[in-house]
Amino acid sequence: MQFDKEQIKKFNSLETPFYYYNLDLLNKTLEELNKESSKRNYKIHYALKANSNDRILKIISGAGLGADCVSGNEITKAVSAGFKNGEIVFAGVGKSDKEIRTALVNNIACFNVESVQELEVINSIASAQNKIAPLAIRINPNVDANTHHYITTGLEENKFGINTWELPAIIEKLSSLKNINLIGIHFHIGSQITDLNIFKGLCLRVNEIQKWFDERNFQFKSINAGGGLGINYEDPDAELIPDFRSYFDVFHKFLEVRPDQEIHFEIGRAIIGQCGSLISRVLYIKEGMSTNFAILDAGMTELIRPALYQSYHKIENLSNFGFQISDFGFRKYDVVGPICESSDTFGKSILLPETIRGNLIAIRSTGAYGEEMASGYNLREKAKSHFSDKI
Ligand code: LLP
C-alpha cells in the first residue's frame, strides 16, 4: 500500500474519481533512470503517449530527458513543456503532411520513418521548406515481444516499421532523395516486456542488421532501441522503481556499438506507470449469481486497459487501511465501473475486505496509458488529476 492515513483522509475530501500522482516517486524514478543510463551514455526520450499531463511533462523535461512523439500535437506539446527541439524524435505509421510540416518547423532531432512511401513524402515536404530532414529507418526486426498481441509491434505481421526485405529498395532510393539525411536505425518491438531475454534477442538482431548495412558501407550515428520495459502490475509495492540497471546491462552486454555511435531509448511506462493510481469510490454493492459486484464511480472511461487488453491492475480498499483482510472477513468482488458495457470491469473475483458503499478504492499502476487513454464515452466528465505535493 503506497498511501498513509493522512493522505487517505485528504482523498476523502476530494471528488472522485481522480488520478493521483506521486511526484516523489516520479522524481526518484527519474533519478535512478538518469543514474543508470548515464553510466553508458545512453540517451533517453520520454514517450509522451504514456502520459502527457502538463505537470508530469514539466518534471520529466526538467530531468533532462528528450521526447518521443507520435503526433504533431505531441511535438507541439513537448516543445511547450520544455523538451529541447533537438532531442525530439517522431515515430508513427501514419504521419500526416501537416504533422510532418510541424516536425520540420520545430527542427526535431529525427523522424523514425515507417514506410518507403513516407520517405518520399518527407523528402518532398522538406524540399518545399528548403530543409534537410534527419531521419532513422524504423526496421521491423521480426522479434516476438511475448506480450499482449495488441501491444506487440515488432513482428512481420505488424503494421509497424519497414521489413528487412525492403531495405535494398530503401538504399537504392536514398541517393535520389536530396532533402533527407539518414542518421540512424530505429526499433520498437512492443510494450510491457518483462522478460529481459527478449531485449537480448533484439540486440542480436540489431547486430545482424547493422552488419548488413556495414557491408553496404552505411554507418549510422545513432541506434534507437525503442521502449517497452515492463512494470510489476501484480505487486507494485515490491518494485515501485523498475530495474533500469538490468535493462541497460542487457544492451551494454549484447549490442555491438560502433565508435562514437549514440544509443537511444524511448521509455514511457517504466517512467510513469507506478507513479499513478486511479482513486474511486464504491457507489453500490450488488449481489450477483455467484459473486458480488462492487460498482465504482470510475470506469473504462478513466482506465481502459482492463477492458482493452484484459490487463491486471491491483485493487485496494483504502477505507479499510491498516486492517488485515482477516480482521474483516473477506469477500470476493467483481469490481466494475458504471459504463454501459460488460467489458467495463476492472477485475473479477478480487479478494477485498468487506466493502461497502462510500469506501475509497485505489486502482494501482495507472500512471501510464491511464489518464492518457481516457474518453468521454457516455458523456462522462474528464476526471481531475491531483498531485502528492498539493494534496
Ligand atoms: N516507442 C514507440 C515507437 C512506441 O510505439 C511506444 C509505445 C513506446 C516507444 C513506449 O513504450 P513503453 O516504454 O511505454 O512500453 N496502450 C498500451 C501501450 C501501447 C504502447 C504503444 N507504443 C497499454 O496500455 O499497455
pLDDT, residue 21, reads 98
Task: Give the residue numbers spanning the domain of 378.
Answer: 5-18+274-387
Atom index in ligand 1 nearest the CA of residue 304 equals 24
Instruction: Give the integer Cα–Cα distance in Å for 222 and 44.
Output: 12
The verdict on the CB of residue 366 being under 6 Å from ligand 1 is no
Domain limit, last residue, from 257, 273, 289: 273
**Residues 292 and 163 reside in one and the same domain:** no
> What type of residue sits at position 42?
Y
**Residues 264 and 282 reside in one and the same domain:** no
Domain limit, last residue, from 212, 238, 273: 273
Number of compact structural domains in the chain: 2
Atom index in ligand 1 nearest the CA of residue 47 equals 10
The verdict on the CB of residue 88 being under 6 Å from ligand 1 is no
Instruction: Give the integer Cα–Cα distance in Å for 74 and 16.
Output: 28
CA dist 156 to 57, 161, 171, 188, 223, Å? 33, 9, 20, 13, 20
Cell output for 27: 522524481
Atom 24 of ligand 1: nearest residue by CA position = 369
pLDDT, residue 34, reads 98
**Residues 321 and 294 reside in one and the same domain:** yes
The separation between CA 5 and the C-alpha centre of its own chain, rounded to angstroms, equals 30
Instruction: Give the integer Cα–Cα distance in Å for 33 and 36.
Output: 5
Atom index in ligand 1 nearest the CA of residue 91 equals 3
pLDDT, residue 192, reads 97
pTM for this model (two decimals): 0.96
List pLDDT tens digits, range 153-212: 777 777 888 999 999 999 999 989 999 999 999 999 999 999 999 999 999 999 999 999
The verdict on the CB of residue 114 being under 6 Å from ligand 1 is no
**Residues 246 and 350 reside in one and the same domain:** no
Residue 259: asked if its preceding bond is cis (omega within 30°), the reply is no
Spacing, Cα 152 to ligand 1 middle (Å): 9
pLDDT, residue 327, reads 58
The verdict on the CB of residue 60 being under 6 Å from ligand 1 is no
**Residues 324 and 293 reside in one and the same domain:** yes
Which residue among 269, 300, 365 has the greatest number of ligand 1 atoms within 8 angstroms of its CB, and so is best to mutate?
269
The verdict on the CB of residue 19 being under 6 Å from ligand 1 is no
The verdict on the CB of residue 281 being under 6 Å from ligand 1 is no
Q: What is the mean pLDDT of each run of 10 residues along the chain (391 residues)?
A: 86 97 98 98 98 98 98 98 98 97 98 95 97 97 81 75 91 93 96 97 97 95 98 98 98 97 98 98 92 96 98 94 60 96 96 94 98 98 95 78
**Residues 11 and 101 reside in one and the same domain:** no
CA dist 253 to 37, 40, 288, Å? 14, 11, 53
Q: Give DSSP secondary structure letters for 292-346.
A: EEEEES--TTT--HHHHH-----EEEGGGTT--HHHH-EEEEEEE-SSSSTT-EE
**Residues 139 and 181 reside in one and the same domain:** yes
Q: Are 241 and 274 in contact (CB under 8 A)?
A: yes
Instruction: Give the integer Cα–Cα distance in Å for 348 and 354.
Output: 16
The verdict on the CB of residue 59 being under 6 Å from ligand 1 is no
- From the list 202, 162, 183, the residue with the least C-alpha distance to 260 is 183
Cell output for 51: 502520459
Domain limit, last residue, from 273, 307, 324: 273
Instruction: Give the integer Cα–Cα distance in Å for 89 and 93.
Output: 14
Whichever domain contains 162, its CATH number is 3.20.20.10
Whichever domain contains 303, its CATH number is 2.40.37.10
**Residues 77 and 203 reside in one and the same domain:** yes
